Chain A
Amino acid sequence: GAGVSQSPSNKVTEKGKDVELRCDPISGHTALYWYRQRLGQGLEFLIYFQGNSAPDKSGLPSDRFSAERTGESVSTLTIQRTQQEDSAVYLCASSLEGGVSYTFGSGTRLTVV
C-alpha cells in the first residue's frame, strides 16, 4: 500500500481483556517496528522485525506483550490481560532493510477502562 496502515484506529477495552493491534507495512519493507507512546510522552521501542531474522524483543515491557509477523507482511501486537497502564497510542513503522527512511502509521489509540 501507499502507507503504513494500522487498525483499529481506536480501541476501548475492559481491564483484563486481551487485545490485538494490526499493522500493515509498506509493500517491500522488510523491517517493521512497534512503539508505544503514552499521553504526552516519547516513543518507547517495543519490538523490531527484520526479514526472517529473530525479532528484537528487547523493548517489550512484560510477558503480557507479544507480536508476530508473517514473512514480510502484516504484524499483530497482542496484549494479554490488559491493564490501565497499557493505555497509550501504539505506533507501527516500516522501512527497507538497512534503510534510513521510516514510514509511521497513524497509530492505534488503546484505552483500558
Chain B
Amino acid sequence: AQSVAQPEDQVNVAEGNPLTVKCTYSVSGNPYLFWYVQYPNRGLQFLLKYITGDNLVKGSYGFEAEFNKSQTSFHLKKPSALVSDSALYFCAVRDRRSGGYNKLIFGAGTRLAVHP
C-alpha cells in the first residue's frame, strides 16, 4: 500500500534561516512526488513536483525539494525562510503506473511557523 510520512507535526524556524520539511514515502516503483501548501482558510496550492530527471526540483516561492531514491525521501527546502511562508505543507505521492493509479496520497501535513 502507498503511504506518505511527514514525521514532524510542526517545524519552527527563524526568518532568514534555512528550512527543511521532511517527507518519506512507501510506494512500489518510482512514484511521482508532490508538495502542496495550504494557507489558513485558503485552498491547496501546488509548489513543485518530481517526475523524472534531476533529483533537485525547483518550485514556486523559492522552494525546492530533493528526491532521494535510496532513502525514499522528498524533503522540502528553502535557503532563507520568510514569515509569509508560515502555513501547512503537504507531501503527496502518486503511483507511476497507468490505468487507474492517478490518485494522490497525502501525508498528514507539517505546520511551518517562521518567527521574525
Partner-B contacts on A (CB < 8 A): 31, 33, 35, 40-45, 48, 50, 53, 56, 91, 93, 95, 97-102, 104-107
Q: Can you name the residue of chain B whose Cβ is closest to the Cβ of A31?
A: B102
Contact partners of B32 in chain A: CB under 8 A: 100
B-side interface residues, number (CB < 8 Å):
22
Instruction: Report yes or no: B106 in contact with A43, Cβ–Cβ below 8 A.
Output: yes
Contact partners of A45 in chain B: CB under 8 A: 103-106
A95 in contact with B102 given A41-B109, A100-B51, A106-B43 (CB within 8 Å): yes
When the two chains form the complex, which single residue of B46, B90, B100, B104 contacts A50, counting CB atoms closer than 8 Å?
A: B100
Interface membership of B58, Cβ < 8 A = no
Q: List 21 A-B contacts (CB under 8 A).
A: A33-B102, A33-B103, A40-B88, A41-B108, A41-B109, A42-B106, A42-B108, A45-B103, A45-B105, A48-B102, A50-B102, A53-B100, A56-B100, A56-B103, A91-B44, A95-B102, A97-B102, A100-B49, A100-B51, A105-B43, A107-B43
